[in-house]
Amino acid sequence: MENTTKDKCRNCGEKISVYKNQSAKVDHSKEDAKWNQYGGWVCSRSCDYNACVTMESSFPGAGVTKTPGQSSMRKIKENWGE
Ligand SMILES: [Zn+2]
């Protein structure tokens, strides 16, 4: 029986397998995938970072954002370490 769900990195589209216990691994690298601040899996710290920047840049009145906001940074550090 299939015990994983196929998903993909919200930033780069890398294939990710999601397990029933809500952990996830990147198919290609076998590294752990992490849950992004704004929802969706990400395959690496840089994808996590870029997904936050892309999302926050789309907020009304945000202008051009180059670094994630404080709560996003907190989540990124929680996901990948300092
Ligand atoms: Zn990615």
pLDDT digits (tens, 9 = 90+) for 46-67: 999 999 999 999 988 888 788 9
The rounded Å distance from CA 76 to ligand 1 centre is: 14
Contact in structure between 18 and 10 (CB atoms under 8 Å) = no
The rounded Å distance from CA 32 to ligand 1 centre is: 11
Q: How far apart are CA 60 and CA 18, in angstroms?
A: 32
Q: How far apart are CA 52 and CA 58, in angstroms?
A: 10
The rounded Å distance from CA 30 to ligand 1 centre is: 13
Indicate the helix (H) or strand (E) that contains 77.
helix 70-80
Q: In what order do the strands lie in the sheet with 15-19?
A: 4-8, 15-19, 24-26
The rounded Å distance from CA 3 to ligand 1 centre is: 22
Tokens linked to 43 = 């395959």
Please report the pLDDT score of residue 2 as a whole number: 67
pLDDT at residue 1 tops 70: no
pLDDT band of 3, cuts 50, 70, 90: confident
